[in-house]
Amino acid sequence: MTTIHATAIVDPAAELDSSVSVGPYSVIGPHVKIAAGTTVGPHVVIEGHTTIGRDNRIFQFASLGAIPQDKKYANEPCELVIGDRNTIREFCTFNIGSPGDVGVTRVGDDNWLMAYVHLAHDCQVGNNTIFANNTQLAGHVHVGDWAIFGGFTVVHQFVRIGAHSMTAMCTLLFADLPPFVMCQGQPAAARSMNFEGLRRRGFSPDRISAVKAMHKALYRDDLTLQVAMERIAGLSENHPEALSDVEMMLSFLKQSSPQRGIVR
């Protein structure tokens, strides 16, 4: 049977798998669904239309599924959806989506979210990311797989974070951060590419060489963005293993809005 501490308050309408455990003084609302193997620590509040997958570990004092911090919100049934095997540490705050976007805040699988991380309404987080303490995402931010945020990183609304990218501690992002790029500063500036992270994830030397060439085109040869993209488009001819990496970079750059731009 589900292990629910005697002091926890779980609405009878909530749907919890029989293997879920709920710690002391936690509160779980009527529209919450939690799948097998997830543990909810003490003093956690889970409310709203929130769906949580399998084998997550939610630490004490987290607040999940509260309404967005958006004055336009008018009690629409928006959602928070969390995948599998995520670690959500103390004092994290994840809000539901808003009717001004897709209406869903989403967290994928195998993410590591440290203390005091804030995900505002309509954020979309991929898989295998790391959010160090006090990372703060405003509304509508999209985060690619394997991204890493240094502590106290702050991200402006509608900014996109590319896959395999990385921010240093206390970084302030006003522009889109392309895939693979490491950045630092207030506002953020590109410093290098996340080569060590790529090696640890099994990228071949050919793929890493292609990423180095992307870095050179975007940041070292004083090219316009359009010319840099044309050069990047040709990299797969000499680096066939990197075709998917090239396509991902070009797709990201093409979707960047002129108003937001990219970190350069």
Q: Give the residue numbers marked as catalytic.
A: 121-122, 139
Q: Taking the CA atoms of 234, 198, 157 and 64 in sequence, report the sign of the dihedral they define.
A: positive
Q: Which residues does 70 contact at the CB level (< 8 Å), separation at least 6? A: 98, 100, 121, 139
**What is the spatial distance between Cα 142 and Cα 251, in angstroms, rounded to a whole number?**
14
Length of the chain: 264
Cβ atoms 195, 188 nearer than 8 A: no
Per-residue b or e along 64-78, where b marks 16 or more CB atoms closer than 10 Å to that residue's CB? bbbbbebeebeeeeb
Place of tokens 């490491």: 182
Place of tokens 């974070």: 161
Cβ atoms 53, 32 nearer than 8 A: no
